Amino acid sequence: MHDKYKISIRKNYDLLLAPFITAAILLACFIIGKIYPFGSNNVEYYDMAQGIIPNFYHIWDALHTKDTALCFNWYSGLGVNDTANASLSVFWIALLVLPRRFVGKAMGLYVIMTFSLSAFTSAIFLKKATKAKPFMTTLLSICYAFCGFSVMYYTNAWQDTVLLFPLYMLAWYALMKKGKILPYVLMTVLNVFCGYYVFILLVFYVFFMSFLYIKTIDNKENRKRRAFELGLSTALGFGLSGVVLLPKLSQTLSSERFLSETGFDFSQIVKQYLEIVRTYVCKSDDKWAMLFCVSLPLAVMILGIIKNRKNKKINVFFVLNILLLAVLIVCEGANALMHFGDYKYFPMRMGYALAFSFVWAAGYYSKYLKLNKLDFNEKTGKNALLVLFNFALFVCLMVLTYFVLKKLDGAYEFKYSVLYAMPVLISIYLVIFCSKNKVVDYKTALSLVLAETLALSMIFIPYWQTDMLEKEHNPQYISTSQSLVKKLDIETSKTDRIKTVGTTLNCNYGTIMQRATLADWTHLIPSDIQSSLISLGYSSEYTRLHDSGGTAFTDAILGIKNVLSVKSESPELYDKISKKKGYNYYKCKYTLPYAMAVDKSILDIKVENANWMELNNQLYKSLTSTDENIVENGNLALKSKTDETEIYTFKSKRGNISYFKLDGAGGVRIYVDGKTLRIPSIDREKAKKYPGRFNRNLICLGDLGDKEVEIRLELKEGKYQDKKNFRKNNLGDDDIRNKNFGVEIGLMSLEKLQKVCDMYNNFGDVSAQNYSLDIKNVKAENKDKVLLIPLQYNGCWSAEVNGKNAEVRSVMSLLTAVELNGESNNISMKFIPTGFKTGMIISVVSAVLFAVVLILRRKERLAPKALCSFVYVLYSLAFCVAGVAIYIIPFAFLIYHKLF
């Protein structure tokens, strides 16, 4: 038994060597870059720090505790449907054994796991599908592990798709070669479970690539059958995963992210299409980074094609397969269409498939190369020196190209010097693997690959965050959040919310703290939710929600019970509890219960074209059943004006809280009676310019007393409405920089705020569970009442009142309301993601069909010729139409634009 084990290892050492070397390269990078646990630096920034790590905390809670739901997050965004984020990941294995406090520090482990497994799976593919030699398998697998997509975008939740792709392609290869359906169906299901969004983008590429394979390599007698089997197995794979896929799609299609990232207005498809195909300017140079680490595969491919030039069909397939994705680098119109019409940041989200295409081709052609092995024994020390020499040579090459190209392009970035070193690297690899080479041993290629991948890792993994023009998070917010919970004794709660003034921690800090918040950045917030909160005076940016802004009244309605702030807050609104780590911890003086029976008129409040004052007053009237207003306009009067300064005055009133708002300008310094107003924001706790990136709506000035108040604005950047060429930014149409200039002051009555809080000071018993919410003993004086719940309305909740089904309604397209049916009401609510029931039916039907397919296949009665012919004709037509629409027309527009 022991001998068999040794023999198995010897036969498959190349499968183990590639991930081992990959892990060693990353560890070397961590040591040099002083990345945790070898120093204080880290690998988490941007999307990883803001979104992925909090999601891993949520998953940890779901795996280790019974009161956390995997598909629903009580702690974020007024209770957010988290179905689309609940994707399988290899990192779940680590989450099962890691203590919760180490999750945020374990992202280095996440990088090592995903990169190493990418090398492992690509080695499996190369060994099984191309029969590449062990040495070449190892080299090419390392190149795939460190492909441009991975080193550039590892901070996104896409690495599981990258590591699964070689296995998916191996299943595809088994389908094409032997007609095996089962592996392909299972890999389709697994990919949907692990990363449905990026996988759906990938399917577009596989659609084109498969047709090219069938037409160029497959035998004529098998083409129709293969087209049928491919279509059937793809449909079965998506059908079986319907119970997961449909809820994810339903949520994604309704989210602000989808609406902001897709270019199609489906009511004007033709017009939108023509606009997209005429897109000539690339939105990001990152597309060129997809060519990182393809120097060796490209060199091997070139030599292999020369050696195998008589086999034209295979050569044509591999070249066209690479061009399917490579042309997206230069043709922005085609690239946009492959991303459903548009995208924000991160172009070529199937870029790893381009790297794999090079690796696949190189693995196939490596069989035709005669590797030049010299007859001398090199000692380990010499090998190490060779690696260091090549690494130093590679770094010098990058520095040289950087300074040369810097003269030509002032905006040139050092990291892209790697690309300009490619011609030199390709030339060296061509020499190494050339059959006429009698000087350089082929093993020298390994040292070059090690040098290239280590250099790439050192450029991108530890240090890229220093290139960010404006920080989007404080790197220490995770440890700060955990420390604040302990030192301030912040209690866990699904319903009692906390907020940070200026969102100085992060949008998803609530998930770290296990305390409900308003803030959220899961990319999954419906657009109506975002618009409504902005109208109420809360800050928002791109697809983020912030809990900065709002009024004390809306805070009370939304269930805010405590406040964290890096500055002193109004004593009229808050009682200070403690101060730790630079944060003041307050208890709100004015609060409302989590659920309240209010007048049905609240259902009629319209957010469109209403400002924050009007909405506050309408809410107050519904809660008090009066015609009184809680907020009145401060009626700012312009006192004086220059090119850069405007001075306003208004009369404040004792017992009223003043709220300030400004639109249509940036970089504004605000002085209230001569004192500079602080506008704290992420990593800018002492900022004094309005708007802050994450604090740019209502600002509380406090109770200023009975006097005339002077507000002076220093408009150093001018008013945006005066800038003719000002472009709408990525921060959304609601961003103040996309609005006309305007300043307003509102005065909120504390007496009336106390009145409404006293009306609801003891109301119902609330119990929030994983996917349920129970509210007991709700008293309703009459039938014109609904239960107002500060729970995000997303269409996923059902309700029973006193055992009978009740209608769940929307309030301002933001909050949830339930129809009541008696004086005493017990409400039971259940969360079921939209599309779950339909998806379950689709999955069950698909499972039955899959069983029938397997039975018919065993009896060789699966694919009637007439049906195969029909499917093949449809496939051919679809390929032609899609090819013309996605590739030919955009490329024709591009050529015309370049020439004329």
Model confidence at 572: pLDDT above 70: yes
Percent over 90 (pLDDT), the chain: 52
Task: Report the mean per-residue pLDDT for the chain.
Answer: 85
Looking at 791, 812, 831, which one is the last position of a domain?
831
Residue 303 within any structural domain of the chain: yes
Check whether residue 718 and residue 806 sit in a common domain: no
User: Which of 145, 162, 137, 14 shows the shortest CA–CA distance to 456?
Assistant: 145
- Side-chain half-sphere CA neighbours of 455 within 13 A: 28
Helices 422-433 and 295-307, axial angle in degrees (round to 10): 40
Looking at 741, 757, 773, which one is the last position of a domain?
757
Looking at 735, 757, 779, which one is the last position of a domain?
757
Check whether residue 783 and residue 725 sit in a common domain: no
Distance CA 507, CA 522 (A): 9
What are the tens digits of pLDDT across the range 776-827? 988 887 778 899 999 999 889 999 999 999 999 999 999 999 999 877 889 9
pLDDT category at 197 given cuts 50, 70, 90 is confident
What are the tens digits of pLDDT across the range 93-113? 999 999 999 998 899 999 999
Distance of CA 298 to the CA centre of its chain: 31
Check whether residue 694 and residue 568 sit in a common domain: no
Check whether residue 111 and residue 34 sit in a common domain: yes
Strand, helix or coil for residue 198: helix
What would the mean pLDDT of 356-385 be, rounded to a whole number?
A: 74
| φ/ψ of residue 296, rounded to 5 | -65, -50
Q: Is the peptide bond before 37 cis (omega within 30 degrees of 0)?
A: yes
Check whether residue 392 and residue 485 sit in a common domain: no
pLDDT score for 380? 47
Distance of CA 77 to the CA centre of its chain: 16
pLDDT score for 335? 86
Check whether residue 398 and residue 359 sit in a common domain: yes
pLDDT score for 730? 41
Residue 393, number of CB atoms within 10 A of its CB:
16
pLDDT score for 6? 61
pLDDT category at 9 given cuts 50, 70, 90 is low
Check whether residue 738 and residue 827 sit in a common domain: no
Q: Is the pLDDT higher at 463 or at 3? A: 3
Check whether residue 747 and residue 766 sit in a common domain: no
Strand, helix or coil for residue 652: strand
Lowest mean pLDDT among 55-69, 184-198, 375-389: 375-389
Range of the domain at 771: 760-831
What would the mean pLDDT of 479-489 be, rounded to a whole number?
A: 93
What are the tens digits of pLDDT across the range 372-387? 665 445 444 555 566 5
What would the mean pLDDT of 755-777 be, rounded to a whole number?
A: 89
Contacts of 833 (CB under 8 A, 6+ apart): 71, 81, 83, 247, 250, 251, 796
What would the mean pLDDT of 327-339 be, rounded to a whole number?
A: 87
Residue 623 within any structural domain of the chain: no
Residue 220, number of CB atoms within 10 A of its CB:
8
Model confidence at 860: pLDDT above 80: no
Residue 183 within any structural domain of the chain: yes
Residue 620 within any structural domain of the chain: no
CATH number of the domain enclosing 653: 2.60.120
pLDDT category at 451 given cuts 50, 70, 90 is confident
User: Which of 613, 642, 645, 647 shows the shortest CA–CA distance to 630?
Assistant: 613
pLDDT score for 124? 96
Check whether residue 315 and residue 387 sit in a common domain: yes
Count of residues making up the chain: 900
Strand, helix or coil for residue 563: strand
Check whether residue 37 and residue 183 sit in a common domain: yes
Model confidence at 56: pLDDT above 60: yes
> How many domains are contained in the chain?
4
169 neighbors 356 (Cβ within 8 angstroms): yes
Lowest mean pLDDT among 42-56, 140-154, 260-274: 260-274
Model confidence at 691: pLDDT above 60: yes
Most confident of 121-125, 464-468, 478-482: 121-125
Joined tokens for residue 537: 């005076």
Lowest mean pLDDT among 285-289, 350-354, 589-593, 695-699: 285-289
Residue 676 within any structural domain of the chain: yes
Lowest mean pLDDT among 247-261, 353-367, 773-787: 247-261
pLDDT score for 344? 64
Distance CA 753, CA 802 (A): 32
Q: Is the pLDDT higher at 450 or at 843? A: 843
Residue 851 within any structural domain of the chain: no
* CA R_g for the chain: 30
Lowest mean pLDDT among 243-252, 392-401, 570-579: 392-401
pLDDT category at 8 given cuts 50, 70, 90 is low
One-letter amino acid at 380 equals T
pLDDT score for 731? 43
Can you spell out the DSSP letters for 214-262? HHHTS-HHHHHHHHHHHHHHHHHHHHHTHHHHHHHHHHHHTBHHHHHH-
Helix, strand, coil % (nearest 5) of the chain? Answer: 50, 15, 30
Check whether residue 571 and residue 688 sit in a common domain: no
Check whether residue 446 and residue 488 sit in a common domain: no
Residue 112 within any structural domain of the chain: yes
Lowest mean pLDDT among 247-251, 295-299, 647-651, 795-799: 247-251
What would the mean pLDDT of 693-698 be, rounded to a whole number?
A: 82
Distance CA 160, CA 282 (A): 27
